[in-house]
């Protein structure tokens, strides 16, 4: 049950910052991000002798752009359905 102040505004739900669980979750995610970055750099450096043609770079860029557009489009659909009360 949530309460409200005398002016009708909802009370603050908690303290002044994230909980211990929130801090642990953030630290775990930062550790996973650091590991993924280290792995990507080491994999990139391990393939230093591999050459890729300009057409390969074009298709790699197209793949990155299409992946970004699909993700952005899905986010737009989520926000649209939420705003128009379609997510019941």
Task: For the chain, give the percent of residues with pLDDT over 90.
Answer: 60
Q: What is the mean pLDDT of residues 66-72?
A: 98
Residue 1: pLDDT above 80?
no
Q: Are residues 43 and 63 in the same domain?
A: no
In a domain, 6, yes or no: no
Count up the domains in the chain and report the number: 2
In terms of domains, do 45 and 24 share one? yes
- What's the mean pLDDT in 25-48? 95
4 contact partners, CB below 8 Å, separation of at least 6: 10, 11
Report yes or no: 63 and 52 within 8 Å, Cβ to Cβ: no
Confidence of residue 16 (pLDDT cuts 50, 70, 90): confident
Task: Enter the tokens of residue 48.
Answer: 């230093």
Residues 60 and 79 in one domain: yes
**Do both 41 and 58 map to the same domain?**
no
Q: Tell me which residue range forms the domain holding 38.
A: 17-49
Q: For the chain, where are the alpha helices, taking DSSP H only?
A: 20-46, 54-83
Q: How many Å apart are CA 70 and CA 7, to the nearest integer?
A: 44
Give 1 or 79, the one with higher predicted confidence.
79
pLDDT reading at 86 higher than 90: no
**Domain-embedded: residue 10:** no
Q: Is residue 72 part of a domain?
A: yes
* Residue 24 belongs to some domain of the structure: yes
Say how far apart CA 82 and CA 21 lie, in whole Å.
28
Residues 42 and 74 in one domain: no
The model's pLDDT over 48-59, given as tens digits with 9 standing for 90+, comes to 888 889 999 999
């Amino acid at each position: 049950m949530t309460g409200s102040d005398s002016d009708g505004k909802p009370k603050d739900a908690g303290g002044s910052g994230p909980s211990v669980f929130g801090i642990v979750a953030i630290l775990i995610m930062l550790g996973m991000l650091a590991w993924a970055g280290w792995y990507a750099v080491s994999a990139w450096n391990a393939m230093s002798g591999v050459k890729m043609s300009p057409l390969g770079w074009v298709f790699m860029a197209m793949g990155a752009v299409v992946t970004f557009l699909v993700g952005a489009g899905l986010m737009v659909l989520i926000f649209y359905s939420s705003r128009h009360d379609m997510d019941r």
